[in-house]
């Protein structure tokens, strides 16, 4: 059986409506015979048969939407139909005695196409970054099969069921389209299992043990046979829609598999338990091998890098930036961090200076709420945001990402540190949830972590400000008695949206933020 996939029917067209089928299932068709009329947003298009054969299935009913590169109808080519229609010989084959029973042919399981599911709102395509399987390999249910890159994050696609891979439709580095075939596989218990269920069992067949009920099978450690929590693509999408992470929802299925019912029960309970950090030993896709060509290497700009390029061009060209620089004396802050570090590590959390930067920023914003606002699209309203969601730029495997810590004003330093640790790990693996990338209100870029001293950052629109933090340097300074002392000095550079923020406002805000950081014990007066 052959699947006829809807071909490209015009530049930029990704779907069309089936207006009229001119064939029915079971009909015999000829090459170039008109089989269906479809309507795009531009014209009525007639689709013809690629070769002669017999129609076995119409995938898209009349009036429904068909997608380009997705199966439209199935047919048996003329040769295939002849072979399947040929009667089996009744006579005993030559070379076999009349009393010998010929060996039964092995059941044939037809291949199925795995259709790339919805990856997120507005996402219609993605780049295949790395195949983890090859044609001919056997796969298990929920086994990671491919890493794909959207314009937001890297995603892992898993096998829907056990079987054998027959074909990879999209090569590494190529573009795969949502709702189009990604790979084909022969299910391990496909048509054979269905036939067994319909036919009576032979007398000498041993009965198969009944599968244990869900109540009898306690969830395992939460990790399936491939070192990850099992969940279907539909379940993962439902988690993204509710802003949840897979680790948050206890799975009741086999080997800790998360089901839709688990998500619904989790939401009904109103659980807000923090997610456990992903396992440190989780395998990451291997890096691309360096090009061996001596000539210019051309690489398409796709995924997160392409999205960042578009956003930065739009921000730099539509927002009037102005810069403001300052020095921070973080000597006391470093000493406080050193005292708190052992206790935090005992709780499994690594404390850097970033939680202090964020907490001090949230405290300073209480007096300068304009820094936590945004301008509407018409440019005639200022929207003051109720929560301080501070983003941090992370140089990850997929490119620059800016996940944000939600509600910093309500979190303790330890909670902020835990969120930073989680988001940094996810960003460096290229697997940040879309909910972690949305809703930021102000951003921090820690260029000092790479050795930089100064930077002129570009605002992460629609936010109104961003600060770049330089590296800490031990420099000589004069104390109150004019004596030269050794102090830890850090340079910070702000970029502000000059439509909303003037120089005086950013200077006063920076001074308030600086006060909390240079005398960190003063933050205790304002912690809830």
Residue 170, SS3 per DSSP: coil
Known active-site residue 526: no
Which of 466, 424, 473, 421 shows the shortest CA–CA distance to 445?
Answer: 466
- Cα(521)–Cα(332) distance, rounded to whole angstroms? 9
**Which pair of structure tokens corresponds to residue 19?**
């207006």
Backbone angles phi, psi at 35, to 5 degrees: -115, -30
Which candidate in 59, 169, 425, 498 is catalytic?
498
Which candidate in 189, 367, 502, 526 is catalytic?
502
511 contacts: CB under 8 Å, gap ≥ 6: none
207 contacts: CB under 8 Å, gap ≥ 6: 201
333 and 353 Cβ atoms separated by less than 8 Å: yes
171 and 115 Cβ atoms separated by less than 8 Å: no
- Cα(168)–Cα(475) distance, rounded to whole angstroms? 59
Q: Name residue, tokens 């689709």.
A: 47
Which of 187, 193, 179, 180 shows the shortest CA–CA distance to 159?
Answer: 187
Known active-site residue 502: yes
For residue 101, the tally of other CB atoms under 10 A from its CB is 6
**Bridge partners (DSSP) listed for residue 405:** 390
For residue 275, the tally of other CB atoms under 10 A from its CB is 15
Q: Name residue, tokens 């079987």.
A: 163
432 and 426 Cβ atoms separated by less than 8 Å: yes
Residues carrying an active site annotation: 498, 502
């Amino acid at each position: 059986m052959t699947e006829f996939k809807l071909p490209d029917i015009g530049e930029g067209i990704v779907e069309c409506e089936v207006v009229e089928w001119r064939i029915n299932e079971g009909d015999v068709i000829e090459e170039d015979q008109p089989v269906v009329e479809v309507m795009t947003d531009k014209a009525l298009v007639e689709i013809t048969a690629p070769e002669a054969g017999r129609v076995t299935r119409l995938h898209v009913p009349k009036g429904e939407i068909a997608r380009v590169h997705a199966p439209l109808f199935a047919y048996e080519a003329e040769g295939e139909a002849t072979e399947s229609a040929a009667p089996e010989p009744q006579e005993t084959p030559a070379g076999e005695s009349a009393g010998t029973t010929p060996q039964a042919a092995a059941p044939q399981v037809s291949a199925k196409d795995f259709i790339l599911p919805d990856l997120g709102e507005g996402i219609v395509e993605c780049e295949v970054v790395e195949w983890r399987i090859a044609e001919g390999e056997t796969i298990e249910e929920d086994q990671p099969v491919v890493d794909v890159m959207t314009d937001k994050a890297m995603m892992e696609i898993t096998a829907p069921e056990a079987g054998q891979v027959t074909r990879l439709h999209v090569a590494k580095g190529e573009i795969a389209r949502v709702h189009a075939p990604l790979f084909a596989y022969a299910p391990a218990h496909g048509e054979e299992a269905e036939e067994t269920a319909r036919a009576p069992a032979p007398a000498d067949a041993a009965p198969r043990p009944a599968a244990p009920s869900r109540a009898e099978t306690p969830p395992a450690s939460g990790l399936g046979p491939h070192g990850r929590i099992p969940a279907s693509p539909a379940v993962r999408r439902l988690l993204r829609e509710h802003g949840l992470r897979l680790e948050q929802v206890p799975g009741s299925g086999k080997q800790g598999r998360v089901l839709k019912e688990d998500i619904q029960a989790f939401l009904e309970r109103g659980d807000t338990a923090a997610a456990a950090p992903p396992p440190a030993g989780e395998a990451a896709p291997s890096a691309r091998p360096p090009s061996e060509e001596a000539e210019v290497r051309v690489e398409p700009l796709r995924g997160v890098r392409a999205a960042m390029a578009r956003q930065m061009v739009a921000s730099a060209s539509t927002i009037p930036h102005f810069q403001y620089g300052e020095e921070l004396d973080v000597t006391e802050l470093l000493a406080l961090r050193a005292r708190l570090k052992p206790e935090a590590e005992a709780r499994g959390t690594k404390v850097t200076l970033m939680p202090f930067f964020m907490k001090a920023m949230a405290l300073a914003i209480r007096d300068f709420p304009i820094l936590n606002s945004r301008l509407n699209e018409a440019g005639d309203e200022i929207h003051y945001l109720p929560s301080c969601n501070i983003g941090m730029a992370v140089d990850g495997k997929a490119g620059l990402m800016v996940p944000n810590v939600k509600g910093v004003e309500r979190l303790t330093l330890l909670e902020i540190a835990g969120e930073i640790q989680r988001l940094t790990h996810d960003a460096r693996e290229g697997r940040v949830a879309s909910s972690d990338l949305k809703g930021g209100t102000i951003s921090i870029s820690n260029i000092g972590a790479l050795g930089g001293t100064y930077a002129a950052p570009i605002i992460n629109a629609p936010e109104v400000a961003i600060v770049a933090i330089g590296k800490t340097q031990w420099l000589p300074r004069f104390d109150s008695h004019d004596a030269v002392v050794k102090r830890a000095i850090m340079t910070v550079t702000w970029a502000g949206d000059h439509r909303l923020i003037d120089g005086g406002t950013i200077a006063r805000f920076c001074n308030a933020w600086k006060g909390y950081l240079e005398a960190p014990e003063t933050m205790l007066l304002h912690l809830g």
